[in-house]
């Protein structure tokens, strides 16, 4: 089907009282797994290509994003293309030309005033081209080796940041941490509810791979509207690849990549089913 815009996918979730899932893509098999999971569950999603994934593919996003677009067009469910944790304004501004309808522009490593100024400029320029912009005030715990799972976003600061930058969504620190391989994180659910009341844009949870099911469901009830998932799929993918390689001395990569893709499909489908709208 035709490519879908991110605001449409997030809007559908919001109106249904749930959250849109954004899954990080590193290889073609990731994108295929996510599309298969959407078709299995009947739920839309976002294919998210991070700046780190772009670096992995030679600092050129075109091939990976084009592959995601091809997979999305073949999928029977809506899939949107998203650039994630983009630190370079020029890469962010390239989003519409790549077919991406949303960008998470990440200037959170800059001093607060510079973050606000850079984010406001990128948001204003992308809005003229119809691109939905997400941002964050400061680093989510665990990112780039910084372990700060105790970091918390202040609701008043969040409201001021959204007003000053004009962003369409806000990633907030509420107890999750990037790159967790165990699902043991505990979220500050009261803070999520206060942030929901403080800002008039969708809240985004990064570092969701380490969050147990019951915590994710509570976060959605309290106002999270976009959930980002990366490591959870990679854990499933890599585990299946390891098992397949250990069981055979064959060298054809199709065998172990297919196993990884199947495991990632199951992992994505479980999360899509978990956050299915409740009637």
**Residue ranges of domains in the chain, CATH in brackets:** 6-274 (3.20.20.70)
Q: Give Cα separations from 4 to 12, 44, 133, 228 (angstroms).
A: 12, 9, 16, 18
Query: Which pair of structure tokens corresponds to residue 215?
Result: 């915590």
Alpha-carbon torsion, ordered 160, 165, 167, 171, to 10 deg: -60
Mapped to the 3 state alphabet, what secondary structure does 169-192 carry?
EEECCCCCECCCCCCCCCCCHHHH
In this predicted structure, what is the pLDDT of residue 142? Answer: 44
Tally of residues, the chain: 279
Is there a contact between 33 and 265 (Cβ–Cβ < 8 Å)? yes
State the Cα–Cα distance between residues 199 and 165, nearest whole angstrom: 12
Supply the mean pLDDT for the chain. 92
Is there a contact between 51 and 88 (Cβ–Cβ < 8 Å)? yes
pTM: 0.93
Annotated catalytic residues are: 84
pLDDT in tens, 7-27: 999 999 999 999 999 999 999
pLDDT in tens, 163-185: 999 999 999 988 766 656 556 67
CA atoms within 13 A on the CB side of 29: 20
pLDDT in tens, 31-43: 999 999 999 999 9
65-92 burial string, b = 16+ CB within 10 Å, else e? bebbbebbeebebbbbbbbbbbeebebb
Segment 177-200 mean pLDDT: 81
In this predicted structure, what is the pLDDT of residue 144? Answer: 42
pLDDT band of 137, cuts 50, 70, 90: confident
Which residues on neighbouring strands pair with residue 134, listed in sequence order?
104, 169
pLDDT band of 152, cuts 50, 70, 90: confident
């Amino acid at each position: 089907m035709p490519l879908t815009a991110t605001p449409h996918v997030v809007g559908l979730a919001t109106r249904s009282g749930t959250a849109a899932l954004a899954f990080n893509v590193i290889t073609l098999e990731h994108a295929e797994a996510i599309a298969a999971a959407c078709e299995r569950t009947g739920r839309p999603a976002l294919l998210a290509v991070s700046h780190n994934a772009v670096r992995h593919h030679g600092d050129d996003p075109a091939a990976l994003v084009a592959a995601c677009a091809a997979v999305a067009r073949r999928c029977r469910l809506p899939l949107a293309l998203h650039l994630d944790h983009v630190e370079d304004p020029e890469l962010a501004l390239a989003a519409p030309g790549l077919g991406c309808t949303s960008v998470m522009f990440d200037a959170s490593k800059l001093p607060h005033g510079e973050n606000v100024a850079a984010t406001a400029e990128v948001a204003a320029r992308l809005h003229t081209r119809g691109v939905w912009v997400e941002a964050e005030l400061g680093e989510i715990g665990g990112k780039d080796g910084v372990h700060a799972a105790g970091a918390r976003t202040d609701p008043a600061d969040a409201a001021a940041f959204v007003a000053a930058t004009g962003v369409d969504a806000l990633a907030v620190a509420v107890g999750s941490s990037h790159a967790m391989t165990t699902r043991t994180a505990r979220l500050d659910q009261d803070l999520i509810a206060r942030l929901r009341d403080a800002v008039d844009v969708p809240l985004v949870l990064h570092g969701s791979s380490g969050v147990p099911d019951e915590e994710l469901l509570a976060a959605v009830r309290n106002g999270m509207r976009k959930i980002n998932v990366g490591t959870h799929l990679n854990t499933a993918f890599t585990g299946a690849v390891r098992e397949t390689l250990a069981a055979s001395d064959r060298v054809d990569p199709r065998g172990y990549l297919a196993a990884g893709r199947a495991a990632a499909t199951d992992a994505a489908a479980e999360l899509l089913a978990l956050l299915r709208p409740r009637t």
